């Protein structure tokens, strides 16, 4: 049997360069050789403030971004999380995991700080649901950014504990790393994120939009010369340059920085051109799918059917092992 792969993206807005490099590039690298399930995780999207009126549209946008980026529905199954029994498995798994571990997670603390008036049970429960997302498909590999590592550790702990209590059932899922596992925010601090306005360049941005996002990105002034800094605005621009631009360009701007002659306006112009060059074919493919809504519906219906077989088989096995009736 082929090894399984699972990854999900929250339906919280348009995909950005962080999602693309941290997750989608990994999905693309794995789809040829593994049994893959790629998900729009709508149930995770509702743990932070959201608009019910926009949720279905946001789900569709992520599906279109998946297809635009090159996920091939012939090779992988696309699912919408709420249509499969993720929450059933999550509840069962939650009964074997300590609350104190969840309260200590850095991701939970960050979200509490980001939304102090929106600290809900779903947010605390997030890593258990994510463990269920992965374990429902008995996935071995999970292409996600480094920000998800604490959650993957929870998934491994749950898999180990379940196996030791009820018998060997789940593999311990590992993160599949890409060379862009952490894309920094354009604001100079933290990671690029859909839910932080001004932090991202989305996959559908045109050249002018990319240029205007980059124009607002902070740069240090007056400290140029010597080595490129390891963090801050300049470091972040060079991180993007290393992902999108040619070796010649990177070497040239590095030299200019070291000699204290760098002009950030020029760097940002070249970077905007290089980012747009990479995104343009995705945007063209996206338009093709946008114009064929019936095809997208069929892709989702087929994905759902494939996922149901795997998901209900795992759920029945888990219930049986836990002594719960499967009838």
Binding interface with ligand ADP (CB under 6 A): 9-10, 12, 18-19, 21-23, 144-145, 147-148, 181-183, 191-195
Choice between 196 and 252, CB closer to ligand ADP: 196
- Give the nearest distance from C-beta 183 to ligand ADP in angstroms: 4
Closest CB to ligand ADP among residues 144, 217: 144
Cβ–Cβ under 8 Å, residues 174 and 140: yes
Q: Report which of 145, 129, 230, 134 is spatially closest to residue 191, judged by C-alpha positions.
A: 145
Q: Map residue 6 onto helix, strand or coil.
A: strand
Work out how close the CB of 185 gets to ligand ADP at its nearest, in angstroms, rounded to a whole number.
7
3-state helix, strand, coil in the chain (%, to 5): 55, 10, 35
Nearer to ligand ADP, 187 or 252 (CB): 187
Residue 181 CB, shortest distance to ligand ADP, in Å, is: 6
The half-sphere exposure of 216 on its side-chain side, counting CA atoms within 13 A, is: 13
Distance CA 297, CA 303 (A): 10
Nearer to ligand ADP, 9 or 159 (CB): 9
Closer to ligand ADP by Cβ: residue 90 or 130: 130
- Cα torsion angle, 189, 193, 199, 202, sign: positive
- In the complex with ligand ADP, the residue whose CB is nearer, 282 or 315, is 282
Query: Whole-number minimum distance, CB 137 to ligand ADP, in Å?
Result: 16
- For ligand ADP, the closer of residues 217 and 318 by Cβ is 217
CA-only gyration radius of the chain, Å: 21
| Spatial separation of the C-alpha atoms in residues 172 and 152, rounded to whole Å | 9
Strand pairing partners for 150?
A: none
Q: In terms of CB distance, is 182 or 312 closer to ligand ADP?
A: 182
CB of residue 323 to ligand ADP, shortest distance in Å: 35
Question: Residue 185 is encoded by which pair of tokens?
Answer: 């925010």
| DSSP single-letter state for residue 21 | I
* Shortest spacing between CB 126 and ligand ADP, in angstroms: 10
CA distance 16 to 223: 30
* The two three-digit tokens of residue 312, written as one number: 């209900």
CA atoms of 71 and 91, how far apart (whole Å): 30
Query: In sequence order, what are the beta bridge partners of 78?
Result: 38
Q: In angstroms, what is the minimal distance from the CB of 53 to ligand ADP?
A: 19
CA 285 vs. chain centroid, Å, equals: 20
Q: Which residue is nearest to ligand ADP (CB)?
A: 22
Supply the DSSP symbol for 95: T
DSSP 8-state code for residue 185: P
CB of 18 to ligand ADP, least distance (A): 3
């Amino acid at each position: 049997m082929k090894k399984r792969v699972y990854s999900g993206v929250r339906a919280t807005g348009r995909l950005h360069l962080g999602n693309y490099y941290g997750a989608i590039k990994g999905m693309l690298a794995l789809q040829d050789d593994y049994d893959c399930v790629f998900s729009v995780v709508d149930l995770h999207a509702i743990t932070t403030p959201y608009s019910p009126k926009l949720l279905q549209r946001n789900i569709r946008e992520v599906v279109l971004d998946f297809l635009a980026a090159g996920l091939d529905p012939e090779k992988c199954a696309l699912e919408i999380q709420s249509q499969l029994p993720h929450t059933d498995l999550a509840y069962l798994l939650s009964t074997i995991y300590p609350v104190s571990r969840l309260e200590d997670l850095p991701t939970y603390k960050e979200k509490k700080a980001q939304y102090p008036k929106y600290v809900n049970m779903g947010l605390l429960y997030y890593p258990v649901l994510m463990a269920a997302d992965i374990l429902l498909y008995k996935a071995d590999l999970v292409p996600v950014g480094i920000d998800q590592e604490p959650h993957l550790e929870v998934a491994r702990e749950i898999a180990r504990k379940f196996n030791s209590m009820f018998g060997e059932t789940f593999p311990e899922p590992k993160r599949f790393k890409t060379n862009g596992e952490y894309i920094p925010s354009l604001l100079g601090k933290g990671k690029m994120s859909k839910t932080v306005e001004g932090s991202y360049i989305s996959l559908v941005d045109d050249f002018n939009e990319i240029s205007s996002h980059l124009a607002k990105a902070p740069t240090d002034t007056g400290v140029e010369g010597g080595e490129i800094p390891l963090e801050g605005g300049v470091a972040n621009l060079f991180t993007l340059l290393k992902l999108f631009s040619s070796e010649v360009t990177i070497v040239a701007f590095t030299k200019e920085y070291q000699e204290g002659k760098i002009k950030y306006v020029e760097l940002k112009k070249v970077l905007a051109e290089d980012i747009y060059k990479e995104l343009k074919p995705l945007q063209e493919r996206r338009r093709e799918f946008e114009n064929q809504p019936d095809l997208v519906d069929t892709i989702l219906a087929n994905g759902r059917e494939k996922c149901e077989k795997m998901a209900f088989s795992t759920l029945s096995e888990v219930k049986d092992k836990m002594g719960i009736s499967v009838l």
